[in-house]
């Protein structure tokens, strides 16, 4: 199976300033991978490179076996501050439909197949009951479910999330993590998740991309969740604790 994402000597820059460099790694298809690093290290920039929104300053990158490009319908994306970007007045069903129809947006342009796909995406994230409500009327957890439905409606092979757990309480964080895990299992999709706090995702992560000392690295989660590495990464003491049941969590 082709790797979902492959970096060979990749660097990223903005305004002539290198954000990170020396990214050489491959992400196998079908896993859930975290993207971690301190604020300003370039996590969102990494997603933009994968999406084809920002050309790499050097090196070679492939996404699902192809050169990354804008509008790739095999890639679903949920940006940070999703609700702010889409506005407050749109209905959830219409928002998910937009993810399916793209430039065909408009009344009277939705086929029976489009409507069925939208219904299936909403059902997959348990959001059918809020389909006809405005996004702004929903709780944070419900909004995130609708965002995931919009990303899923095109049946992508790769899903990218930028801080999907931000501003959610512990209960909703747990539910979204469980939803991501179920989505990966049901659809065999690869998922990359930018996170500030890795703890809620530790039970489902296969590996992590970490931006350390201006370089992009990747490792299996058992290697990345290491006190010395995380202490260096965040420039503050981080302990890794393993419970009697074998679960891992970090604390600073």
Question: What's the mean pLDDT when you consider all of the chain?
Answer: 90
For 36, half-sphere exposure in the C-beta direction (CA atoms, 13 angstrom radius) is 23
What is the per-residue burial (b if ≥16 Cβ within 10 Å, else e) of 63-91? bbeeebeeebeebbbbbeebbeebeeeeb
| 245 pLDDT tier (thresholds 50, 70, 90) | low
Q: What is the pTM of this model?
A: 0.91
d(C-alpha 146, C-alpha 172), whole Å? 13
pLDDT tens-digit readout, 150-181: 999 989 999 999 999 988 999 999 999 999 99
Q: Determine how many CB atoms are found less than 10 A away from the CB of residue 112.
A: 7
Q: What is the DSSP letter of 26?
A: E
CA nearest 62: which of 29, 36, 26?
26
pLDDT tens-digit readout, 56-107: 999 999 999 999 999 898 999 998 877 766 766 789 998 999 888 764 445 4
What local confidence, expressed as pLDDT, does residue 246 receive? Answer: 64
* Torsion over CA: 162, 79, 15, 7 (sign): positive
Q: What is the dihedral of CA 69, 74, 80, 83, to 10 degrees?
A: 120
Task: Specify burial of residue 180 (Cβ count, 10 A radius: 0-12, 13-18, 19+).
Answer: buried
Q: Is 195 helix (H, G, I), strand (E, B) or coil?
A: coil
Residues in the chain: 252
Q: Please report the domains of the chain, with CATH numbers, ordered by start residue.
A: 1-74+157-220 (3.40.50.300), 82-155 (no CATH)
User: Two tokens at 69?
Assistant: 């490009």
CA nearest 46: which of 80, 23, 78?
23
């Amino acid at each position: 199976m082709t790797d979902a994402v492959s970096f060979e000597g990749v660097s990223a820059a903005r305004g002539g300033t290198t954000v990170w460099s020396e990214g050489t790694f491959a992400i196998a298809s079908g896993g859930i991978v975290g993207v971690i690093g301190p604020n300003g290290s370039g996590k969102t920039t990494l997603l933009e490179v994968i999406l084809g929104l920002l050309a790499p300053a050097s090196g070679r990158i492939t996404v699902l076996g192809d050169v990354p490009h804008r509008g790739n319908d095999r890639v679903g994306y949920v940006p940070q501050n999703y609700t702010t970007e889409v506005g407050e007045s749109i209905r959830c069903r219409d928002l998910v439909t937009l993810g399916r129809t793209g430039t065909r947006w408009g009344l009277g342009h939705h086929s029976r197949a489009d409507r069925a796909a939208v219904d299936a995406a909403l059902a997959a994230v348990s959001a059918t009951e809020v389909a006809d409500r405005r996004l702004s009327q929903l709780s944070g957890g419900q909004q995130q479910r609708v965002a995931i439905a919009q990303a899923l409606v095109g049946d992508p092979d790769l899903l990218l999330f930028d801080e999907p757990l931000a501003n959610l309480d512990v209960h909703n964080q747990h539910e979204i993590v469980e939803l991501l895990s179920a989505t990966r299992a049901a659809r065999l999709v690869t998922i990359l998740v930018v996170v500030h706090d890795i703890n809620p995702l530790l039970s489902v992560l296969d590996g992590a991309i970490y931006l350390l000392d201006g370089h992009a690295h990747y490792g299996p989660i058992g290697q990345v969740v290491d006190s010395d590495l995380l202490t260096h990464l965040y420039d503050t003491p981080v302990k890794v604790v393993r419970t009697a049941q074998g679960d891992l969590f970090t604390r600073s």
